[in-house]
Structure 1
Amino acid sequence: MNYRGWANILVNHEYFGGKCSYFRFMPDNASKEIMKREGFLMNESSEGFYLIAQDSAFAEDISLVFWATPTRQDLWSVTLFNDIPKESIPFAKANGNSLQWESIDKDSIPKEMQLPTPMFGIEISRTSDISDSKITLSLSTKKMKWRYNISGLSEFNDPEVAGIKNYKESAYFDVFTDASGNRVFTSAQEIPLSFGAAPRFQLREKNSTKAIIKCLPNMDARSIATAVLEGGKQEIIAETFINT
């Protein structure tokens, strides 16, 4: 009895800057029955999962549906899916080596998969004439303004937050002094949250190469907060507090 690769599902997440192994993929009952009948085997990998099947499965047109639940809770607060209606979840349709994102009503999720609610689903379809199927799910990270609250800067001349030289993209930070005398630096544009990546910014004296703090921390899920910005409007931002 010969087995060979039927589909290879890889997950990349912008939040980690590459592969992501923090999702559990579960087939619904209908897909379980197909997999049992056709002799499928499912193996988890460091960045997704891999399906192998008996030779007989390659003579048919088969569709399997899996539902993804994160094993890290912070992925719920940092993962971005665009244009998903309320009371719906993202649903990817993979056919051969092509992928298209859609949405599906939460009520349409099979009952056995509704608790806990999955973050997204994927339908994997392939026809008998496709020799191999490799699908990469590329997930994006939420963007928000970054804010550094820094105390103990009275001895420094005109400090600013600037991009580290070896980082391709920079950002402009507005600055003001709060009632406690802390200097508050807030990015003018939204920046993706990041976990484990090299630092993007440093604190330095303006128009100088002298660094006050060589590497400011990146903002991740732990940094998410609510702040009142210009015009008294509340906004979700990412912020951290630093004492020099």
Structure 2
Amino acid sequence: MEYARIVDVSLCHEYYNGSSCGFKVVPSAETAEILKKEEALCRIYDGKVRLMAPATSFAQEVTLLFYVKASIAEVWNVTNFDGIAHDEFPVAIVSCDGGVRFEGRSKDSLPELQRMFGVVFALELHLTPKQPLMGTVKVPTKKLRWCYCVSGIYAERDLQINDSLKVDDPVQFDCVEKSSRMSLYVSRTEIPIVSGSPPRFQLLDSATSKVLMKCLPNASAKSIAKACLDDGSSAIVAECFINP
């Protein structure tokens, strides 16, 4: 019997620079039955879902549901599903006509979730007869305001954080706290957190524009805190400590 590839979908995470970060994909019970009935071969490895099936299979439109688990605990801290309501569960939908998108789904509509552990999101594949389904699901990384905590000899100096990546529209930082022990510089906007990305910020002396540190380390999702801003409000930030 001759088989043809009908599904080739990859999963990746923005935080890990496009790596799958060890996602484990498990078909729902109903999907497993459909695959068996259609005599489809399902190959799941390294964040990829590939289906091979005979030419006579999947003669009608069908929806397949998979659950995606995290093998790295850190995934929970670096994934951005802020657009999904608290009482909903994120579902990545892949279709031939609509591409790839995330939407929230009522948890009651996914009863198997109650019996599963470590599921980050669900993967829903909409199959159309005679049309191979291909695409890449990019799991969004968390965006936070960055906070550089400067101690040591530069703590009391007037400093500037320079954005070397976006010269025309740079990220701006404000000094929200200054003492002889430590000064805090918080970005005005949220910045994506990506593991292994090249450094983009420099530490400058405000008065002379002299570069004091050419490459500031990037903030990490492992160090999250609440910072008080100069207007009296507070914000959740990703901290990065500097002691030249």
Task: Give the TM-score band, short-chain normalised.
Answer: 0.7 to 0.9
**Unmatched segments (≥5 aa) in structure 2:** none
**Unmatched segments (≥5 aa) in structure 1:** none
Whichever residue aligns with residue 87 of structure 2, its letter is E
* Residue matched to 1:145: 145
Shift of 1:180: 4.5
| Contact 1:11–1:21 (CA under 8 A) maintained in structure 2 | no
Shift of 1:195: 0.9
Question: What is the root-mean-square deviation of aligned Cα atoms in Å?
Answer: 2.7
Q: How far apart are the structure 2 equivalents of 1:153 and 1:192?
A: 29
* Residue matched to 2:120: 119
Q: Where does 1:171-186 land on structure 2 (aligned, <5 Å)?
A: 171-186=171-186
Shift of 1:37: 2.2
Shift of 1:190: 1.5
* Residue matched to 2:17: 17
* Residue matched to 1:85: 85
Q: How far apart are the structure 2 equivalents of 1:113 and 1:54?
A: 34
Q: Aligned to 1:25, what secondary structure does the other structure show?
A: strand
Whichever residue aligns with residue 101 of structure 1, its letter is F
Per-residue displacement from partner, 1:156-196 (whole Å, max 9, x unpaired)? Answer: 96332111258775311112554453222111221111211
| Contact 1:28–1:110 (CA under 8 A) maintained in structure 2 | no
Q: Where does 1:29-40 land on structure 2 (aligned, <5 Å)?
A: 29-40=29-40
Q: How many residues align?
A: 243
* Residue matched to 1:188: 188
| Identical residues among aligned pairs (%) | 31
Whichever residue aligns with residue 137 of structure 2, its letter is L
Q: How far apart are the structure 2 equivalents of 1:207 and 1:176?
A: 18
Q: How far apart are the structure 1 equivalents of 2:225 and 2:166?
A: 29
TM-score between both structures, scaled by the size of structure 2: 0.86
TM-score between both structures, scaled by the size of structure 1: 0.86
Whichever residue aligns with residue 123 of structure 1, its letter is E
| Contact 1:144–1:190 (CA under 8 A) maintained in structure 2 | yes
Q: Aligned to 1:15, what secondary structure does the other structure show?
A: helix
Q: Aligned to 2:64, what secondary structure does the other structure show?
A: strand
Q: How far apart are the structure 2 equivalents of 1:58 and 1:205?
A: 65
Whichever residue aligns with residue 138 of structure 1, its letter is K
Moved more, 202-211 or 213-222: 202-211
Shift of 1:96: 2.2
Shift of 1:22: 3.0
From the superposition, tell whether residues 176 and 105 of structure 1 become closer, same or farther in structure 2 (CA, over 3 Å).
Answer: closer
From the superposition, tell whether residues 68 and 154 of structure 1 become closer, same or farther in structure 2 (CA, over 3 Å).
Answer: closer
Shift of 1:26: 0.7
Whichever residue aligns with residue 88 of structure 1, its letter is E
| Contact 2:38–2:58 (CA under 8 A) maintained in structure 1 | no
| Contact 1:153–1:183 (CA under 8 A) maintained in structure 2 | no
Moved more, 228-237 or 210-219: 228-237
Q: Aligned to 1:35, what secondary structure does the other structure show?
A: helix
| Contact 2:176–2:228 (CA under 8 A) maintained in structure 1 | no
Q: How far apart are the structure 1 equivalents of 2:28 and 2:225?
A: 36
* Residue matched to 1:107: 108
Q: Aligned to 1:212, what secondary structure does the other structure show?
A: strand
From the superposition, tell whether residues 38 and 150 of structure 1 become closer, same or farther in structure 2 (CA, over 3 Å).
Answer: same
Shift of 1:32: 0.8
